[in-house]
Amino acid sequence: MSGELSPIDKAKFVAAKRAVDFVEDGMRVGLGTGSTAAWMVRCLGEMVREDGLKIKGVPTSTRTADLAREVGIEVISLDEAKWLDVTIDGADEFDGDLNLIKGGGGALLQEKIVATASDQMIVITDASKEVEHLGAFPLPIEVIPFGWQTTKSLVEEMLISMDVMGRDSTLRMNGDHPYVTDEGNHILDLHLGRIGNARQLSLVLNQVPGVVENGLFVDICDVVILGFADGKVETRDINEGTVEEDRLDFLESDNLFKDMMD
């Protein structure tokens, strides 16, 4: 029931609920990965089952694909879709220009490919993710397993000339073994503290041999939807230069809450 949800989960839910209002019949929708995106997938599934919404979803990870199928969303590949109407995803950090850090859930490569193949990218999040400067959250970069330690050294050396506060990096682990992405790669988390020029850093990182992609999403996000525990929702559109506030009610009888708390 909604009364059993934490304030952060309520904030995630109302942001997700507002975001699915952007989805219309017949759309091809990119489905993000992570805890906030999971709320969005469940909201869309409810619309498919109860309102007859007809969409095709392109998931950004195997776990999102599994959830989408579970809630009744038709899943297709990006190659089948070719282009998407909208992608809805979460973020680990965002700044005033709606630049993002993503990849905390390990799906940054597929997330960036899907987001850039969309007419619009909508990010759903809570106020805790807003920062003045990106970098407090460790920046993930996906690297191939071969020679990853060499790649790590090259990245740390490159960071000397970048406008960042720190240069340490760590290999992401899954228990006693390196974390493995859906593409069979590893992730290095860069502990930068503060990123002065995200666009420059993104371009330079991708030139390092062994780096597949980085978690900086620059000039990709169009709309950020912020959810709050009291039901308030703030929608910021970077292209229109608008900020709109709304309030959503969540009731203990809501079917989605029942599903989540079972």
Residue stretches of the annotated binding site for substrate: 33-36, 89-92, 102-105, 129
**In sequence order, which ranges of 122-172 are alpha helices (DSSP H)?**
148-158
Task: Give 87's strand partners.
Answer: 30, 121
Interhelix angle for 198-205 vs 148-158, to 10°?
150
217-251 per-residue burial string, b: 16 or more CB within 10 A, e: under 16? bbebbbbbbbbbbebebbbbbeeeeeeeeeebebe
> Which helix (H) or strand (E) segment is 67 a member of?
helix 62-70
122, 126, 127, 131: CA torsion to nearest 10: -60
Annotation: binding site = 33-36, 89-92, 102-105, 129
80 is catalytic: no
167: tokens are 């240069």
* Spatial separation of the C-alpha atoms in residues 25 and 21, rounded to whole Å: 11
**Left (φ > 0), alpha (ψ -120 to 50) or beta: where does 160 sit?**
alpha
Q: From the candidates 46, 93, 111, 213, give the one annotated as an active-site residue.
A: 111
Residue (of 66, 70, 61, 62) closest to 90 by Cα position? 61
Residues belonging to the active site: 111
